[in-house]
Amino acid sequence: MPGPDPIDLLAVGELLTEEERLIQATVRRFADDRIRPHIADWFEQGVFPARELAPELGRLGLLGMHLEGYGCAGAGAVAYGAACLELEAADSGLRSFVSVQGSLAMRAIHAFGSEEQKLRWLPEMAAGRAIGCFGLTEPDFGSDPAGMRTTARRKGRGGTSRPEGGGDWVLSGSKMWITNGSVSDVAVVWAQTEQGVRGFLVPRGTKGFTATDVHGKLSLRASVTSELHFDEVQLPGDAVLPGVSGLRGPLSCLNEARYGILWGTVGAARDCYQAALEYAKSRVQFGRPIAGFQLTQEKLVEMALELEKAHLVAWRVGRLKEAGQSRAAHISFGKLNNVRTALEIARSARTVLGANGITTAYPVLRHANNLESVLTYEGTSEIHTLVLGEAITGTAAYR
DSSP code for 366: H
The HSE-up count of residue 24 (CA atoms within 13 Å, CB side) is 21
| Residue placing its CB nearer to ligand FAD in the complex, 257 or 266 | 257
Task: Show Cβ contacts of residue 150 under 8 Å, excluding neighbours closer than 6 positions.
Answer: 135, 138, 171, 172, 173, 174, 175, 189, 190, 191, 192, 230
State how far the Cα of 348 lies from the Cα of 273, in Å rounded to an integer.
9
Output the CA torsion 197→201→207→212 (10° steps).
80
> Which one of 164, 232, 378, 382 is the catalytic residue?
378
CA 376, 190, 328, 269 torsion: positive or negative?
negative
Helix (H, G, I), strand (E, B) or coil at 150: coil
Task: Tell me if 144 sits within 8 A of 196, measured CB to CB.
Answer: no
| Residue placing its CB nearer to ligand FAD in the complex, 291 or 383 | 383
Q: Which residue lies nearest ligand FAD, judged by its C-beta? A: 142
Shortest Å distance, C-beta 159 to ligand FAD: 31
| Residue placing its CB nearer to ligand FAD in the complex, 47 or 320 | 47
Helix (H, G, I), strand (E, B) or coil at 235: strand
Task: Show Cβ contacts of residue 2 under 8 Å, excluding neighbours closer than 6 positions.
Answer: none
Shortest Å distance, C-beta 290 to ligand FAD: 34
| Residue placing its CB nearer to ligand FAD in the complex, 224 or 280 | 224
Q: Phi/psi of residue 225, each to 5°?
A: -125, 130
Shortest Å distance, C-beta 244 to ligand FAD: 16
Interacting residue ranges for ligand FAD, rule: CB under 6 A? 100, 134-137, 142-143, 177-179, 220, 225, 373, 376-377, 380, 382-383, 386, 398
| Residue placing its CB nearer to ligand FAD in the complex, 148 or 290 | 148
Which residue from 267, 256, 271 is spatially nearest to 379, judged by alpha carbons?
256
State how far the Cα of 257 lies from the Cα of 210, in Å rounded to an integer.
25
Output the CA torsion 48→50→54→57 (10° steps).
10
| Residue placing its CB nearer to ligand FAD in the complex, 225 or 341 | 225
Shortest Å distance, C-beta 120 to ligand FAD: 21
State how far the Cα of 140 lies from the Cα of 124, in Å rounded to an integer.
33
Residue 175 β-bridge partners: 228
Shortest Å distance, C-beta 251 to ligand FAD: 11
DSSP code for 98: H
Shortest Å distance, C-beta 121 to ligand FAD: 17
Q: Read out DSSP for 286-335? A: TTEEGGGSHHHHHHHHHHHHHHHHHHHHHHHHHHHHHTT---HHHHHHHH
18 counts as catalytic:
no
| Residue placing its CB nearer to ligand FAD in the complex, 133 or 239 | 133
Catalytically active residues are 378
